[in-house]
Structure 1
Amino acid sequence: MDETTLLSWGQIIARIATQFLPVWIALILTFAISIRYKRRLGLYGKLFDSPVGMVGFLLVMFWVYTAIFADMIITMDPIAQFGRVKNPPPGTPLKDVVEGQYAYFLLGADHLARDVFSRVVMGARRVLTIAPAATTFAFIMGVTLGLPAGYFGGKLDTVLSFLANLVLAFPVILLFYLLVTPEIRNTGIPVVLAAVLFIFPVIFFCTLFNARFFTNPPKRNLYVGITLAIGLWAYAGLAFNADPLGVWSMDPNLLNVFVSVVFVNSPTVFRIVRGIVLDLKARDYVAAGQTRGEGPWYIMLWEILPNARGPLIVDFCLRIGYTTILLGTLGFFGLGVSPESPDWGSTIDDGRKLLSLYLHPAITPALALMSLVLGLNLLADGLREESLKD
C-alpha cells in the first residue's frame, strides 16, 4: 500500500483491532475460565448469570487489559510530537517515516501532532492507576471510622458524623479545584492530609489481624509485624517521599490528586458504612458473638463487615466511576497529574479547542471515558442484582 494514501475507516478499524490483539486474547481467556468455574467463584461467579453485569465486566476488563498491555498496543510515544501538520485526520500517514516507526496516525493527532490513539491507550493506564487505588484508600478510611461510629454510637458517632457532613457540605468540584491547584502545594496541606489519610490502611489491617488472632499471640504478632513493616515503609514513601529504597514514591502533582480523591470520597463511604452497621448490629449473629464474649472489633470486622460486602462492593464500583469522571474533570481544567500527561481529561481539553473544525482529538478520549464509566455502572448494577439474590 502507498504510505502517502489516507487509510479508509475499514482499514483503520482493522489496524486498531490488530493492535488490541493482547486485549482480545486476555478477555477470551478471562471469560472462558470464569464461566467454566463460575459456580465456585461466589459473587464474582454469579456475575456471569447477569447479562447486564457481563456487559459491564467486559467494558471494564477491556480497559483494565488495555492499561496492562498499553506498551504493546500504542503505536507511538504518547507525549512526543510527530510531523509538522496540526490536527491530521484519522488514517493520515506520517512523513519521513524511519525504520521501525509506525506509519499512520490511526485516530489522527492533536494540535501538537501527538498521536491521539496512543494518548487514549496510555490514558487508560493513568486513570486505572489512580482511580481504583484512591478509591480503595477512601474505602479503608471510611470503613475504619464508619464501623465504630455505627456500632458504639454516642459522642464518637456525633463527632465523626459532624466532620463527615462538614466535608460533604462543601461543593465537590470546588473542593477538588482548591486542593489540586499548584499554589496549595506550597502550603504543605497535601503532605499533612497524606500523613493523616495514608495511615488508615496500616491501622485497619493491624486491627483486623489483632481482632482475628487475639487468642493466638504468635500468629497475631507475625501478621501485625508484617503489616507494620510493609505498611510503615509504604507510608513513609507515599506520604513523605522518604523511602530509602525508592520503591514507594509519589510525585507532588500525583500526591495532590490522590489525596484530594481520598479526602472527598471518604466521608460518603463513612456514612454508607455507618448506616449499614446501624442496621446490622441488631442482627442475631451479632448478639451471638457478644454472648460468646467476642470483642467489639472482632464483631465489627469479622461479623458485620462481611455481611455488608454486597452494598460496599456495588458502591466501590460506582465510586471508581465517579472518581474517573472527577479525574477527567481535573485534567480538563488543566489540574491533572502533569500538563503533558496523556490522561483523558487533558486530551479532551486539548481537542475541544478546535472542536468546530476537528472532532477526532476530543471525541475519542470522551468516548473512552464514557465507556469505562458505563462499564462500571453496569457492573455495579449486575453485582447489586446478584447480591440481592443471596
Structure 2
Amino acid sequence: MACVVVGTDEFLPLARAQSAARGLPELPVVTVPHPIGGIAPGVAAAKAEPVAASVLRALTSAPSAASAAGAATGGMRGAPSDLDEFQGWLMEQGWGDGLPAIPPTAERVKRMLAGTRRAPEEIVAVLVPRLGRATIEAVAANAVMAGALPEHMPVILAAVEALADASFNLQAVQTTTHPCSPLLIVNGPIARRLGINAAGNALGQGARANAVIGRALRLTLQNIGGARPGKEDRATHGHPGKYSYCIAENEAASPWEPLSVERGFSPADSTVTVCGSEGPHNINDHGTATPEGLVATVAGTAATTGSNNIYLGGEPLIALGPEHAATVASTGWKKDDFRRAVWDAAAVPRGRFTSENLARFEAIYPEGFADRTSAAVLRISRDWRDIMVIVTGGAGKHSAFIPTFGATRSVTRKITGG
C-alpha cells in the first residue's frame, strides 16, 4: 500500500526520524511551508494548493533513499580521551546539552552500574520518538555524562520507567513546540539521604543531587529517546528546566500528607513523580493572612488565556512555599479544601479569548466550551481534583504555579533499592 507523510517543513527532521525508527527510512515526506496554524484561510489555501501534486508524485514514484541521523545509545566509540576535546566532539555528535560533560568511559560506567542490582542489558523502557532502547547500561552512560553518582541511579531508573507510562504521553512532551519538560518530584527517605533539596532555592542551583539527577534524565531523553533540540525536539522557546528539573517535597515543613501518600504509598516509601511541566510562575503574596486571601492571589496568577491546561486538561501544579502552606492550614483547611477553592476562583471569562481561539478550543474540548453565554468561564483544569499541590522551598512569602503541557498525566513510581 502506497503511503506518504504530510507535515510542515519545520517538522521534517522529526518525520524522518520517526520513519526511520519504525523501519521505514524511505517513506516519502511532503512538506508544507510552516506555519499552517493561526493564519488566514486564504493563506492556508495558497500553501495547500501545490501539495496535492507533490503527494500524488510521492505516491506514484519509487521511494528515494532517506537517512535520519541517529542518536546516542550509550556507545562512545571514537570519543577523544582529552577532556576538552571530548566536549566539542560530544556536541558535534548531537549528544550534549551545551554544558561540560564527563566522558562515559567503560570504567566510569561500570562504577555507575554499581548503583543498581539490575543487569546492564535489561531494557528499562523504549523511549520515543526514536524508539530507543533504554538499557540499564545506556542510562548509566548518560548518568555519567551528567555527573551523577551511583547512588542516584535508583531515582533515575524509576523516573525513566515513569516517563514510559502511556498516560504521560512522552511522544508529545518530547516533540511539542510547547515549553514543557519532565519535572521530577521526589518523596520519601531517599530524598533526605541523597540530599535532594526541598528547602530554600529548591528550584534553583546549588544542590548536586537535584542538578545531576534531572540532567541525567534529560540526556537520556535526548540521546536514547532521540529528542534533539531543533530537530526532533520542536520547542519554540523551551525553558531552563530542560537542562535539569528535579526537586523534593519539603515534607518536614508541610502541614499535610505528602504527594506520595496521597497516591497510595506509605510514608516509608521513596517515590518519584514525573510531570510534563512548564517553568515555575512566581506567586508573590506578603500581605495575606487567610486561606481565602491566598486563594485569590494564587487564582489570579493561574487563570490566563494562554494556558494549555485551559483546553487540553492536565494537572497544573501549585508548589506552595512553607509559609503560604501554613497560612492555608491555619484555619484547618486540608489540601482538598485549597484545591477546590482555587479551582472555583481561577476562572477565565469566555470573553477574554479571541474568536479564533474559541473556535479552535471548541473543536478540541467541546464540552468545556459549550456554554456560549456572556457569563461562561473556563477553569484551569477539567476537575478540581486534577490540581496538584505540594509544599517545597524555604523561608519567604512565595509559592509557584507550574502549568503543564495539558495532554499529559503525572506518573508516580516507587523507587527501589536498585
Range of TM-score over shorter length: under 0.3
| Higher RCO structure (Cα 8 Å, ≥6 apart) | 1
TM-score by length of 1: 0.25
Q: In proportion to residue count, which structure has more helix?
A: 1
